[in-house]
Amino acid sequence: MKKFLNIMVPSMVGSVLTIVAFMLLGLNDRPEVVTGSNENLAPAHRAVYTVKEDGELVPLDFTGVSKDVMNSVVHITSTREVSGGLPFSFDRRHPLEEFFGEEFFRHFYGKPENNQPQRPAPKKFEQKGTGSGVIISPKGYIVTNNHVVDQATEVEVTLHNNQVYKAKVVGTDPATDIAVLQIKADDLPAIPIGDPENVEVGEWVLAIGNPFNLDATVTAGIVSAKGRNINIIDDQSAIEAFIQTDAAINPGNSGGALVNLNGELIGINTAIASPTGSYAGYGFAIPVSIVNKVVGDIMQYGMVQRGYLGILIRDINGDLVEAEKLKVAEGVYVDSLMETSAAGDAGLKEGDVIISINGVEVKQTADLLEQVGIHRPGDEVKIVVDRNGRDMKFDVVLANRKGTNEILASNELEVLDQLGATFKDLSRAEAEKLGIEGGVKIESLASGILKSQTQLKPGFIITAINNQEVNSVEELEKILEKTEGGVLMEGTYEDYPGKLYVAFGLDK
């Protein structure tokens, strides 16, 4: 009994003291609830607060921004024609006759023998893909990713109000993965454009698009990093300086908007890094600085006007610092100068380390590519380099791909540039191994006619064009310069038996 009292007495005393304390603090008071017939008794909206640069506390509320921006984001459906059979046909009558006509083949090859084996025509079917886009002009102009509409035979745009339009592809730039579309509509809700210089790591952003075919989906996150190069764009002139975000981006978000809390466009959602193909915390968007430049060029010139320094560059790491005895640990190393080099003409040398351009600090190649990528041929850029521990300044006038400072018209591209490939003369040993006189090998394919109109792969060996023998890159260029309209390319692969015939159109 005594033991029981020893336990109970302290407990009762503690309870009494607690009650007294609550009464003194007034925490047990229950305010009267006064209601009126028109009073809204819904609980108050709760918000997290963030701090502006001036120190003002503002609620972190995404509802207003989401409503405004969703009207400027569209759903894109693209249709591609896909062949289900062999990519090429050994049959000289099909399917190329459909492109050129029967008389073309009779003229060059004569009529096939009756006993010539015929292969069935490859089956063709339509393949549909979906993505997103952003209205950038009230007059119907829309920006999206190039890979959303690449090789599409038909593009359809659905607005947020469910109106559907057929879209025209105004222009594309595979090097930045940007495409511009137009629909026949007016007074569209164009999205406001943000200031690229104000985008900061850590700021809140929203990603708006159509993942997994789900219309008008909004996700929130922050800017995780800037200037990311993830080597995802397959193009010789690729420019990657992505904004990285942890806002959820999934297949179907491509071409959608990345906006700040003012509802301003700061990027076009493009890619994800994921082991599964779905969101894993890493999304990437093309910064609005590059979007503005590419869209402006396409609208004004019909093609992107890209400025070149004429240098080969490398990121700096510990090994390079040690091997080259560099005095800085950040920047872009000038590995070599091209034969025609705007940077070389201005005074840059091999071994220089570029540390800033136009006052913007350069820590890696993505920083340099972004700053050069927003300029055109003929623009002057101010470059600071570290040369053996000494800062040196240079004014460089950017050149075009031909090495001049002029703006190019779309019809001024060399014919081999239009094909979008790099070529190499077939060596004598390679020709003897294949049992042919000679040819031209396709080393790589980027944006251009061959990639968009054919299913060719690197390694294809061209032996003839329109029944004219081709033994060198020079011969290939001369033949094509005199050719317009339908082109029949004959060739083979090293590990493929027989000849292959590829057709494409060349419009000068």
How would you label 282-297 residue by residue, b for 16+ Cβ within 10 Å and e otherwise? bbbbbbbbbbbbbbeb
Residues near 170 by beta carbon (within 8 Å), at least 6 away in sequence? 141, 180, 181, 182, 298, 299
Residue 354: burial class (beta carbons within 10 Å; 0-12, 13-18, 19+): buried
Helix (H, G, I), strand (E, B) or coil at 507: coil
Q: Find the helix packing angle between 288-301 and 365-373, rounded to 10°.
A: 30
Residue position matching structure tokens 């700061």: 266
Distance CA 229, CA 255 (A): 18
Question: What angle (nearest 5°) sits at the alpha carbon of residue 149, between those of residues 172 and 399?
Answer: 15
Name the one residue in this structure whose structure tokens are 């850590």. Answer: 202
Q: Which residues does the annotation mark as catalytic?
A: 147, 177, 254
Total number of residues shown for the chain = 508
Q: Do you find a cis peptide bond into 95, omega within 30 degrees of 0? A: yes
Measured distance CA(87)–CA(500) in Å, rounded: 10
Query: Taking a C-beta distance cutoff of 8 angstroms, is the pair 144, 268 a contact?
Result: yes
Quote the strand ranges of 116-241, DSSP E: 124-135, 141-144, 154-158, 164-173, 178-183, 204-209, 217-228
